[in-house]
Amino acid sequence: MSENQSTPKTAPVVGIIMGSQSDLKVMEAASEVLEMLQVPYELTIVSAHRTPHRMFEYAEGARKRGIKIIIAGAGGAAHLPGMVASLTTLPVIGVPVKSSNSIDGWDSVLSILQMPGGIPVATVALNGAQNAGILAAQILGTTDAVVADRLEKYRSTLKDKVMRSAEELRRGDRDID
């Protein structure tokens, strides 16, 4: 089931799935973060509506394949994260995607956010796949000191960037990123 893995020699521990190819532009941000943090992942398309049997197979087999966290992105009705969460006890992080058939993204946000009791989905911001990747790494970092250390270093780079920008602004350099 793992069509696109970050590192062929390392078994993926995070599954990144999306409802359609059009979600890839958003979901790539999660894979970029995981690559930067050297967390092995797999990336594939699993549609809750068009390929429900594939969704069942993916969710029910993920733990046996070594997946520890699933990041699921979907737009429109956005049933994928919740349905996957109903089929596994692995943590599922939902990424609402603002799609062409979306009601300004709100349908996706609410569909993923408003899960019934007993079937949680951690939900990030609309198109927030970067934060989904970071959250997945943070969860892994609770039991993996190497990942936790990489996250600390990443956070330091964020702090350094803000401090550089503040200094540039103080000096009057308005062309800051």
The verdict on whether residue 50 carries a ligand-binding annotation is yes
Torsion angle of the four alpha carbons 145, 148, 150, 153, in this order, in degrees rounded to the nearest 10:
-120
- Residue 42 φ/ψ, nearest 5 degrees: -125, 155
The verdict on whether residue 20 carries a ligand-binding annotation is yes
The verdict on whether residue 23 carries a ligand-binding annotation is yes
First to last CA, the chain: 40
Can you tell me the distance from the alpha carbon of 97 to that of 22, in angstroms, rounded to the nearest whole number? Answer: 10
CA 143 to chain CA mean position, Å: 19
Can you tell me the distance from the alpha carbon of 176 to that of 147, in angstroms, rounded to the nearest whole number? Answer: 30
Can you tell me the distance from the alpha carbon of 94 to that of 80, in angstroms, rounded to the nearest whole number? Answer: 8
Can you tell me the distance from the alpha carbon of 27 to that of 127, in angstroms, rounded to the nearest whole number? Answer: 8
Q: Which residues are annotated as a binding site?
A: 20, 23, 50
Q: Which residues are annotated as a binding site for substrate?
A: 20, 23, 50
